[in-house]
Amino acid sequence: MAEFSLALNDDQVQLRDWIHTFAKDVVRPAAEEWDEREEFPWPIVEEAAKIGLYSFDFMAQAMMGDPSGLTMPIALEELFWGDAGIGLSIFGSGLAAAGIAGIGTPEQVMEWVPQCYGTPEKIALGAFCVSEPDAGSDVSSLRTSAKYDEATDEWVLNGTKAWITNGGIAAIHVVVATVDPELRSRGQASFIVPPDTPGLSQGQKYKKHGIRASHTAEVVLDDVRIPGSCLLGGKEKLDEKLARAREAKTNPQPKPSGKQPAMATFEATRPAVAAQAVGVARAAYEYALEYAQERKAFGKAIIENQAIAFMLSDMITEIDASRLLVWRAAWLSRNGEYVNAEGSQSKLKAGRTAVWVTERAIQILGGYGYTREYPVERMHRDAKIFDIFEGTEQIQQLVIARAISGLRIE
């Protein structure tokens, strides 16, 4: 087990500086353009692939190669400091990769995770498909069905997924579907839909408030047939899990075991999402600080006014507190030491901080902050998503409340 330390080692410092340089020189100059275009920034992701940032090797090192668990939070904070929409375009495939790594067999991980990224010469994308038009936070109500065809050893998927990052343009779609509706979330499984599989198509593409450079769309599954080997974890493991869950419906012992595929992925990625929010908040704070030092009113820099100085003091304090929760959660997750709901605590705090800090940044800039001429307006739009996706603010509160009370709070 790695020792928890707030002092970054040489490799982590080099990683931070490397990604910060990329964010400053490549991402930030392109942020306004791709926000306005509301299109996936293929050229920027290709640049990330050329330097090895968008790659299976980097993700493997970030997810498994660092015993401290801090590689991913450090990388994400710096990249999202550059821009949240482009940052999500670069790291959006990581959610699909995490979904495969969390449930799949070693053979499935090695086969499918690299295909979520492609190569520097021809990049590919991954998409993790959970939410539906009538099932966002309530993953137990998923209607997308998976039926097994014994005659062909194939699974047949039908349904519509909603709000999917990279949905429809990804090479690899990881789809969470219901095998046994009576078991609700315990009757679900995750499936790989390989590239160019007939029956999978993109539905509507959403026009969003923020993170506009990230592609978000519906994914429609119409009699999508996939090989039996595309069931993550394998059929034997699924059959055992379903049998335990069915027994538990009438007999409290044994309790159902096995990971719920969607929740297992979200548990692993919440500190990462929180780190993204920290990056956005830090970017807004730094811009507001620089503005306050240069902007003059009544004959002096506005930072010399207590009202402005105190706002900035609170902003940096909340950012640093959020980062500490993120690092703690990331270390605990990497070392298998989760006790209660530390991942949810980090996401709850960081999401709230991003929204509040970016709003304060607009306030410090005044009328200028409310215009698109200055980036804090875009940062504020981007920040709100961190209170919503991968578990809303209220879902994080529910997870935390259940952990500290030991009760099934609804």
Instruction: State the greatest distance between any 2 C-alpha atoms of the chain, in Å, as a whole number.
Output: 82
Phi and psi at 40, nearest 5°, equal -65, 130
Helix (H) or strand (E) holding 263: helix 261-294
Distance of alpha carbon 226 from alpha carbon 173, whole angstroms: 12
Question: What's the per-residue H, E or C state across 23-89?
Answer: HHHHHHHHHHHHHHHCCCCHHHHHHHHHCCCCCHHHHHHHHHHCCCCCHHHHHHHHHHHHCHHHHHH
Give the number of C-alpha atoms closer than 13 A to the C-alpha of residue 314, restricted to the C-beta side.
14
Residue with tokens 């974890």: 233
Q: Counting beta carbons within 10 angstroms of the beta carbon of residue 200, is it exposed (0 to 12), middle (13 to 18) or buried (19 or more)? A: buried
Distance of alpha carbon 63 from alpha carbon 60, whole angstroms: 5
| Nearest alpha-carbon partner for 76 in 327, 289, 349, 301 | 327
Q: Which two tokens stand for residue 198?
A: 């007939």
Phi and psi at 98, nearest 5°, equal -65, -35
- How many residues are there in the chain? 410
Q: Residue type for 210, please?
A: G
Verify whether residue 290 is a known catalytic residue: no
Q: What is the DSSP string of 93-120?
A: HHHHHHHHHHHS-HHHHHHHTGGGTB-S
Q: Counting beta carbons within 10 angstroms of the beta carbon of residue 383, is it exposed (0 to 12), middle (13 to 18) or buried (19 or more)? A: buried
Q: Which two tokens stand for residue 234?
A: 């394998």
Distance of alpha carbon 132 from alpha carbon 135, whole angstroms: 5
Q: Residue type for 345, please?
A: Q
Distance of alpha carbon 243 from alpha carbon 255, whole angstroms: 11
From 121, 218, 390, 393, active-site residue:
390
Catalytic residues, by residue number, are: 390
